[in-house]
Amino acid sequence: MSNTQTSYTPREPILVTGSAGFIGSTFLPLLLSKFSASEIHSVDALTYAGSRENLLDLPESSNHSFHRLNITDFDSLQKKFQNFEFKTVIHFAAETHVDRSLNSPDLFFRTNLIGTTNLLKLAKEFAVERFIHISTDEVYGPTPDGIEFDESAPLNPSSPYAASKAAADLATLSYSKSYDLPVIIIRSTNNYGPRQYPEKLIPLLISRASQGKALPLYGDGKYERDWIHVEDFSRAVIAILECGKAGEIYNVAGENRILNIEIAERIRELVGVAESKIEFVANRPGHDRRYRIRTDKVKTLGFSPQIDFDEELAKVVKWYLKTPQRLAKISTGAAVEK
Ligand code: NAD
């Protein structure tokens, strides 16, 4: 970890990848309002998980350009770097659904590892001054009871999704160690909030409950995850962008550890449909029992989550119920956390 920079004013142009997805589309308006004078570009392939609709609420005065682009297409990505010479990169783009990764691991390794490597290569060539890679607590694998993993814990991913993210983390760290590229890795717990593709746990359960259907949970439903509101997480990314140290990894959590079965019960109550029943379905292979991470390090940068889970979950449920067209894109599988 040879880089020692401790405070960073994001140099422009700034590139955000995956801006049309769930987290990217919450983070981008925050970035645009905070750095309104900066030139900001975002790219997204607009896969099934990304939507232009997610980008309709950007601040009007912002200096933002959107480019439809697949990060696995090195030549197209290189042209953007040649045209704009990005100085800061914040990388969210990824295939993110664990169940899909079990059926199409190759797609996950292509997007999450090769796509990230393409960005790293270009970041090195164009002397990017800060490269933020967004990763997940899933790279640590299941946490034994009574333990919390800090950033130095070994990587032990279970699913192809988690393995592809862990591989991308290692590729990112190698660019720090070998080429002194100023990278930072952020490993987050589960995000919740509006605009998440409805195959994920919370919107899927809301959809099923609102139709009076059974709420499908894998195994015994006693799978523990920590949940952070997507706006809190977006604030964490800004704090780390500005105050994080190059070459470092930061865990971020919402400090809301909840079992899937408890989430299902809360959603059933919030939707107000008594007849929805929890239905336990055959477990997903490699389903990790719990993830628990320590967040002391990000707290030293002044970040701690502000949003109360119970209060906000009620608002999130209302948001999805008011936008039924979102919930219509529903998958029929069991509800998964990511
Ligand atoms: P998402 O699936 O909602 O969005 C991903 C976005 O990436 C989509 O807009 C999609 O079109 C885009 N994309 C996919 N493949 C691409 C490609 N080849 N080229 C360009 N764009 C592509 O995911 P999200 O929940 O917003 O997650 C964003 C990032 O945060 C991911 O890296 C994910 O691993 C990480 N993360 C998410 C969570 C969570 O709970 N949602 C938790 C921890 C980490």
Quote the percentage of the chain above a pLDDT of 70: 95
User: What's the chain look like in SS3?
Assistant: CCCCCCCCCCCCCEEEECCCCCCHHHHHHHHHHHCCCCCEEEEECCCCCCCHHHHCCCCCCCCEEEEECCCCCHHHHHHHHHHHCCCEEEECCCCCCHHHHHHCHHHHHHHHHHHHHHHHHHHHHCCCCEEEEEEEHHHHCCCCCCCCECCCCCCCCCCHHHHHHHHHHHHHHHHHHHHCCCEEEEEECEEECCCCCCCEHHHHHHHHHHCCCCEEEECCCCCEEEEEEHHHHHHHHHHHHHHCCCCCEEEECCCCEEEHHHHHHHHHHHHCCCCCCEEEECCCCCCCCECCECCHHHHCCCCCCCCCHHHHHHHHHHHHHHCHHHHCCCCCCCEECC
Residue 179, in any domain of the structure: yes
Same-domain pairing of 25 and 160: yes
Phi, psi at residue 104, to the nearest 5°? -135, 60
State yes or no: pLDDT of 110 exceeds 60.
yes
198 lines ligand 1 (CB under 6 A): no
State yes or no: pLDDT of 250 exceeds 90.
yes
Same-domain pairing of 162 and 94: yes
Mutate to test the pocket of ligand 1, among 16, 17, 19, 23 (most ligand atoms within 8 A of CB): 23
Same-domain pairing of 114 and 210: no
> pLDDT by residue (tens digit) across 157-166?
999 999 999 9
Tell me which residue range forms the domain holding 320: 201-225+257-289+307-327
C-alpha span between 99 and 161 (Å, rounded): 9
Residue 302, in any domain of the structure: no
Same-domain pairing of 275 and 143: no
**What's the one-letter identity of residue 97?**
H
Residue 39, in any domain of the structure: yes
Residue 219's CATH number = 3.90.25.10
Same-domain pairing of 91 and 172: yes
Residue 85's CATH number = 3.40.50.720
Same-domain pairing of 208 and 84: no
What is the overall mean pLDDT for the chain? 94
Closest Cα to atom 41 of ligand 1: 191
260 lines ligand 1 (CB under 6 A): no
Q: Which of 206, 217, 235 is nearest to 283 (CA)?
A: 217
Residue 5, in any domain of the structure: no
Residue 6, in any domain of the structure: no
Same-domain pairing of 135 and 157: yes
Same-domain pairing of 164 and 211: no
Domain count, the chain: 2
Same-domain pairing of 100 and 156: yes
Same-domain pairing of 115 and 145: yes
- 137 catalytic residue (yes or no): yes
Taking residues 187-195, report their average pLDDT: 98
Same-domain pairing of 30 and 78: yes
Q: In which band, very low, low, confident or very high, does the pLDDT at 337 lie, cut at 50, 70 and 90?
A: low
> pLDDT by residue (tens digit) across 85-96?
999 999 999 999
Q: In which band, very low, low, confident or very high, does the pLDDT at 329 lie, cut at 50, 70 and 90?
A: low
Q: Which atom of ligand 1 is nearest to the CA of 24?
A: 26
23 lines ligand 1 (CB under 6 A): yes
Same-domain pairing of 150 and 279: no
- 179 catalytic residue (yes or no): no
User: How far does the centroid of ligand 1 lie from the alpha carbon of residue 182, in Å?
Assistant: 22
Residue 50, in any domain of the structure: yes
> pLDDT by residue (tens digit) across 311-325?
999 999 999 999 988
User: How far does the centroid of ligand 1 lie from the alpha carbon of residue 22, in Å?
Assistant: 7
Question: CB under 8 Å to 167, separation ≥6 — which residues?
Answer: 109, 112, 113
190 lines ligand 1 (CB under 6 A): yes
128 lines ligand 1 (CB under 6 A): no
Question: CB under 8 Å to 301, separation ≥6 — which residues?
Answer: 239, 240, 243, 244, 250
Residue 239, in any domain of the structure: yes
- Which whole-number Å values give the CA distances from 165 to 3, 70, 111, in the listed order? 23, 17, 10
